[in-house]
Amino acid sequence: MRLVAVLALLFIAQFVLAESKPKPTVADAERFMAEAESRLSDLGVKANRAGWIQENFITDDTVALSAEAQEELTAATTELIEQAKRFDGLKMPPVLARKFSLLRVATTAPAPKDPALRRELTQIAASLDADYGKGKYCRKPDECLDITAIERIMGESRDPAELQDLWLGWHKVGAPMRQRYSRFVELSNQGAREMGFADTGALWRAGYDMPPEQFSEEVERLWQQVRPLYLALHTYVRAKLAQKYGARLVPPDGPIPAHLLGNPWAQEWGNIFPTLGLPEKSSGYDLTALLKARNLDAKGMVRYGENFYKSLGFAPLPETFWQRSLFTKPADRDVVCHASAWDIDNKDDLRIKMCIQVRDIDFVTIHHELGHNFYQRAYKDQPFMFQSGANDGFHEAIGDTIALAITPQYLKEIGLLDKIPPPESDIPLLLKEALSKVAVLPWAVVVDQWRWKVFSGEIKPAEYNRAWWDLRRKYQGVMPPVERSEADFDPGAKYHVAANVPYTRYFLADILEFQFYRALCKEAGYTGPLNRCTFFRSKAAGEKFNRMLELGQSKPWPEALETLTGQREMDATAILDYFAPLKKWLDEQNKGQKVGW
């Protein structure tokens, strides 16, 4: 009885102490957040610098240093997310409450609390990224090709045997990643569950100012809006490829073999435009030829992109941008050539990293990457927690909106084109644009549909590859050139999977950019066909654009969207408006063809 009494007294004492412990106040929460923002900002800059060095000088040492910096940032983020739980239920001012909400979803690779497991996760993440960056296919003993070379050859070659060989050669890069990726999923999911999420995919989807389940429905709603346009494009492209390669290789009523669509992933099809039966000069001009005729170097290409933003009223890029960016692939070392934009110090140290070639696709990509940089600078005066896009789709959409304005009118105004082609040239121009903007839509859905299902456990490690191709067939209507097995890990042959970069942002960006574009054209006073609009030199459009950009993530994305477009919902009618003349033309061309697969 004496022992029971003692235990009872201890329990009562603990209860009294817990009750007497002061509850956190708003002032406590404000102090916590100020310290958290300062700490995360400092660690983020350190990780940015280490990441920049790792991707530009790939060695075992730089990979280790980057992993250590990321581990430190991940550990701090995980620790702060855990500490922030003590403020759950506290009524806060809206701005402070939003910061706490954003902190909760501030990582794409949530790490377990256990330091050893956290270290293991960051080391795996760094090794997967490095494997991709160092990846090569040696088709001859003295000819080893990196992904830049493979992309170039697959964009130009029309030899199905060579294309299949390159496709298979590059996809070998994924197989060694498979077991580590499976372990990464386990560790990341453990971290997500410790933070209160069902899994890492649910954490990703929670970052869109709506419940994860509602966001999944939103993506599917938008996809169904644009699916008829994609089906029309797929049907036309399949018929043309069947004519070129034969029905044995390209079944007229089935999926399209992935190696025939112009790049290693069949994500964008612009490189196969010359095979689609339109007269070679039907678009009225060849942008790659126009650029080469100017004897441009990589920096000259980037100057054109900067000048567009300047014409809207944005300040020039800082001099350090030109000194510190990577514009061309070095001859003496491996680098991650995947184009990216960097904000090293959350202030003015803006950079891009690209292996630029003088060609049309790189001209467009430059405008896209600079969009990240100008967005980053627009919100630099926001508190740290708000220094990001309204959602990650916004960040990708900004530069793409500018790229849409690379019209014949714009090319004439900057002196690349002598005269504007007649209206009948619009169909080939729209077709080439659709091979990028429309073709990528289902691919952009698939990459994260697969990962969401992997994170949730719906897709097991033993069926990674089969599930990948099932989804690609369902959404894209593409198939691998040869039978694949679970000895392969084809998702790992895509940078964003190896580097754990969420991909739905690209799908949202493809929808949002047309909404932004339509709004900016209206602000510039343009009234003609949407696909012919450029708002180059419109200060009114630039001023309204900047009002949205400078908000960063300080407001829920519907409010940011409304600032520019007057709409609070993502809406695919703008992309349908833009491609309306092409859809009508495709439907005429596709008469008698089976639509779908």
pLDDT at 13 over 70: no
Give the H or E element holding residue 100. helix 94-104
The secondary structure of residue 415, as a DSSP letter, is T
Q: Which residue in 377, 352, 302, 362 sits closest to 56, CA to CA?
A: 352
Q: How confident is the model at residue 338 (pLDDT cuts 50, 70, 90)?
A: confident
Q: Calculate mean pLDDT across residues 139-154.
A: 93
CA 58 vs CA 64, 338, 485, 493: distances in Å: 10, 14, 31, 18
The pLDDT score that the predictor gives to residue 429 is 86
Q: Calculate mean pLDDT across residues 277-304.
A: 87
pLDDT at 12 over 80: no
The pLDDT score that the predictor gives to residue 283 is 63
The pLDDT score that the predictor gives to residue 286 is 87
pLDDT at 1 over 60: no
**Structural tokens at position 163:** 């294309």
Q: Which residue in 592, 584, 589, 575 sits closest to 227, CA to CA?
A: 575
* 361 vs 244, more confident: 244
Taken in order of first residue, the domains within the chain and their CATH numbers are 37-135+176-196 (no CATH), 211-295+303-313+360-597 (1.10.1370)
The pLDDT score that the predictor gives to residue 334 is 84
The pLDDT score that the predictor gives to residue 18 is 47
pLDDT, mean over the chain: 93
Q: Which residue in 194, 225, 198 sits closest to 213, CA to CA?
A: 198
Q: Calculate mean pLDDT across residues 379-393.
A: 96
Residue 343, strand partner residues: 350
Percent of the chain residues past pLDDT 90, beyond the cut: 84
Q: What is the dihedral of CA 521, 526, 530, 532, to 10 degrees?
A: -110
Half-sphere exposure of 71 (CA within 13 A, CB side): 20
CB atoms within 10 A of CB 120: 19
Decide if 375 contacts 549 (C-beta within 8 A). yes
Q: Calculate mean pLDDT across residues 339-354.
A: 96
At 150-198, the pLDDT tens digits run 999 999 999 999 999 999 999 999 999 999 999 999 999 999 999 889 9
Which residues are known catalytic residues? 369, 496
Its pTM stands at 0.86
The pLDDT score that the predictor gives to residue 17 is 47
The pLDDT score that the predictor gives to residue 337 is 87
CB atoms within 10 A of CB 419: 9
Q: How confident is the model at residue 78 (pLDDT cuts 50, 70, 90)?
A: confident
The pLDDT score that the predictor gives to residue 8 is 53
